[in-house]
Structure 1
Amino acid sequence: MRTTSFRRALVPGVAALALAVSGCAAGNDTSSASGSEGGESSLSGELAIGGASSQEAAQNAWIVGFQEANPDVTVTYDPVGSGGGRESFINGTYPTAGTDAYLTDDEGELSAATERCGGTAPIEIPNYVSPIAIVFNVDGVDELDLSPEAIAGIFAGEITQWDDPAIAETNPDADLPSEPINPVHRGDESGTTENFTTYLDAVAPDVWDAGVVETWPTEYGGEAGQGTSGVISAVTNGTNAIGYADASQAGDLAVANVGVGDEFVGPTPEAAAAILSASPRVEGREPQSFVFELDYTTAEAGTYPIVLVSYMMACQSYDGDGQGELAKAYLEYVLSPEGQEQGATEAGSAPLADDLEAEVTELVEGIQVG
């Protein structure tokens, strides 16, 4: 069985600026942060946030939608990276921030964030799910079904010809050329590489023995592309090439369907979002921490397993400086059906499943603001 894939061009975002804002602390006011009465927004001010660069395009889309509904509010998102987002949230620069890695105490970040939020563990919610597509440009081939082992073999340099039995077996109707494979990888330190190799390490550790890495192991060879655009360019302009990249930037390139159980699934937003339903939440966390141990080896039908999941962090209560009210209202918009559709349409992010969206929305609606 095959679930078809998708192609989507990325819409460029607006530039982001960094502004200093004050921190949050425990508060007792339970007033609503919706900021609207009779359809007119009562919110005003500036909200400066930032963090994971993976969210930049989606954040820019959300900012446009939120500011249309709240014309007296200015929101900026600075893509300083996940580490910078966590640091700026902890030190009070951002009232909410994005990160590709949830808070842990490996380096004391979770405890520090709890202290920053007045002694109560912060809220952590998934807001951005992006499929990582296997893009390809192979003479005479428009569709490609690849098993996890074949993907690992290609990128580990063990499968070197397009008509290799490991590829031909799952593509009996394809006219595979008897030509060398040109695998393309990121040449820079990359969160996309980290998520892609996390998948390879989980599904084919006997083939992919480099473990989880952010920098591509040179011994595996292949062509390096600088950034996502470099990978897309190298595959587009290459001969019989294949690479990995955020699906929203695949453009006109063909994308492979990936073996999941008894079917092959393409990187649609819905299939990518399904990974959260198929994965358990991380054990030992507070109830307001919606972070997941992704099940890359799932056999759940209709689930695309090569994904990047990014989170937003916020306090459960804020003081009366106004930043908490703006942060709460902004997060409510991001999680709303309108916000999720905006992110999907403009940035190719995968909307959250209805049940998960309802749970995290209720959590955000419970944020107390002074």
Structure 2
Amino acid sequence: MHIGRHKAVLGALAVGVLALSACGTDQNVTNADLNPELRQLEVDCGDESVAAEGSSAQKNAMDVFARDFGVKCPGKKLNYTASGSGKGISAFTAGQVDFAGSDEALTTEEAEPARKRCSGNPAWNIPMVFGPLAVTYNIPGVSDLVLSPEVISRIYQGEIKRWNDPEIQRLNSGTDLPNIPVVPFYRSDESGTSANFQEYLSTATEGLWTGEGKTFRPENGVGQGRSGTDGVTSSVEQTEGGITYAAWAFPKNAGLGIASIDSGNGPVELNSESAGKAIESAEIAGRGNDLKLDLESIYGNDAPGVYPIVLATYEVVCSGGYDPQTARSVKAALKVAAHAGEENLEQAGYVPLPPEFKSKVLGAVRAIEE
């Protein structure tokens, strides 16, 4: 059985995403247009298209994967519905889709229904999509800014109120910081971005930050809530002294300032290499081919050159229980996804899998039973 935009500058992001989405169905894209690794990749495509659903945080990466899958497996599609992690897990356990995208690994409560859906085989969490979170700001005349997790926490706790505060100045010696108010913005809606940002702050400050979960919890009266990534980013763009946290693609494409993070061993700029180092050193909390991550090993990584604010999202798959053709198609889609090129992923706001980590992911994909 088969179990199977409001501002022109922010419009640049939409244009980039539309371009990638268009590539997903562009009949003119050929194997020659793919990155060298993908061009040489041999794929057993199976006979099925693949259906998946879940996390909106990985939707733009899925557009990249879908385009590449369509090229490597002509006539097959990877169809992804960005309905949110919870709905994706529900659709997966109900057997409505072949795998789920999720901002979090399966919980203990979700694992048993997933096992039943997989004909008694455990479901695996495969971390495939990594999107850095940027701390973005609008300070006139300041193009380079360094912040620490402690300073960020104290801003949202209302303890640091002006940009020339001594704690910020110490991190930015030689920079003329203006005596203007710090205007924090945060997500007012429930958000996986907020959950991960708060977990980062709590881990990196060893408990100085106490907020947790999908509802961001600043000190009472501190900051202004806005709905969605677009809402907080546009507010910073329009507000001198503004600061917020957001998925990398939004401030990057809007041309906003993005702070370097000093975790105690010098400032680290956000780029694919520095975020990739955080992924490379991530520890696995799951067993065998269940690659559930120990997020503290990412968020608490204070090694030189590591940018630690990286949102990991998973593909939740059956380790067995698919019919043979569906299993081959799912494995093909995931194999192609693991080889996605840096340029397209970075344009969409993600970073590619580092080589050693990618080998773990591919090992889990190969181990899915047919």
TM-score, normalised on structure 1?
Answer: 0.84
2:269 & 2:316 partners in 1: Cα distance?
30
The two structures, once aligned, show a CA RMSD in angstroms of 2.4
> In the TM superposition, what is the alpha-carbon distance from 1:77 to its structure 2 partner?
0.5
Q: Which residue number in structure 2 is paired with residue 217 of structure 1?
A: 217
Q: Contact 2:47–2:326 at 8 Å: present in 1 too?
A: no
Q: Contact 1:49–1:75 at 8 Å: present in 2 too?
A: yes
Q: Which residue number in structure 2 is paired with residue 233 of structure 1?
A: 234
2:130 & 2:307 partners in 1: Cα distance?
11
Q: Which residue number in structure 2 is paired with residue 279 of structure 1?
A: 282
Over 3 Å counting, the alpha-carbon distance change for 1:348 and 1:65 in structure 2 is same
Q: How many residues align?
A: 335
> In the TM superposition, what is the alpha-carbon distance from 1:346 to its structure 2 partner?
3.8
Identify the match of residue 58 of structure 2 among 52, 55, 59. Answer: 55
Deviations 1:184-205 (A, max 9, x none): 1112111111111111112235
1:40 & 1:185 partners in 2: Cα distance?
43
> Which deviates the most, 287-296 or 115-124?
115-124
1:46 & 1:354 partners in 2: Cα distance?
28
Over 3 Å counting, the alpha-carbon distance change for 1:205 and 1:37 in structure 2 is closer
Over 3 Å counting, the alpha-carbon distance change for 1:241 and 1:38 in structure 2 is closer
Q: Which residue number in structure 2 is paired with residue 93 of structure 1?
A: 96
Q: Which runs of 5+ in 2 are unaligned?
A: 1-11, 23-38
> Which deviates the most, 165-174 or 259-268?
259-268
Q: Contact 1:271–1:302 at 8 Å: present in 2 too?
A: yes
> Which deviates the most, 54-63 or 114-123?
114-123
Greater fraction of residues in helix: 2
1:206 & 1:318 partners in 2: Cα distance?
42
SS in 1 for 2:274: helix
Deviations 1:138-166 (A, max 9, x none): 01111001121111111222100000001
1:320 & 1:199 partners in 2: Cα distance?
40
Q: Which residue number in structure 2 is paired with residue 83 of structure 1?
A: 86
Q: Which residue number in structure 1 is paired with residue 154 of structure 2?
A: 153
2:313 & 2:344 partners in 1: Cα distance?
13
1:262 & 1:129 partners in 2: Cα distance?
23
Q: Contact 2:188–2:215 at 8 Å: present in 1 too?
A: yes
Over 3 Å counting, the alpha-carbon distance change for 1:38 and 1:187 in structure 2 is closer
Q: Contact 2:126–2:364 at 8 Å: present in 1 too?
A: no
Q: Which residue number in structure 1 is paired with residue 76 of structure 2?
A: 73
1:188 & 1:364 partners in 2: Cα distance?
34
Residues 10-159 of structure 1 aligned to structure 2 (within 5 Å): 11-13=16-18, 14=21, 43-105=46-108, 108-159=109-160
Task: Name the aligned partner's letter for residue 59 of structure 2.
Answer: E
> Which deviates the most, 291-300 or 59-68?
291-300
> In the TM superposition, what is the alpha-carbon distance from 1:39 to its structure 2 partner?
7.6
Q: Which residue number in structure 2 is paired with residue 165 of structure 1?
A: 166
Does 2:319 correspond to 1:316? yes
Q: Which residue number in structure 2 is paired with residue 341 of structure 1?
A: 342
TM-score, normalised on structure 2?
Answer: 0.84
Q: Which residue number in structure 2 is paired with residue 193 of structure 1?
A: 194
1:40 & 1:114 partners in 2: Cα distance?
27
Over 3 Å counting, the alpha-carbon distance change for 1:217 and 1:104 in structure 2 is closer
> In the TM superposition, what is the alpha-carbon distance from 1:86 to its structure 2 partner?
1.4
Q: Which runs of 5+ in 1 are unaligned?
A: 1-7, 16-35
2:361 & 2:123 partners in 1: Cα distance?
13
Over 3 Å counting, the alpha-carbon distance change for 1:247 and 1:42 in structure 2 is closer
> In the TM superposition, what is the alpha-carbon distance from 1:110 to its structure 2 partner?
1.0
Q: Contact 1:278–1:300 at 8 Å: present in 2 too?
A: no
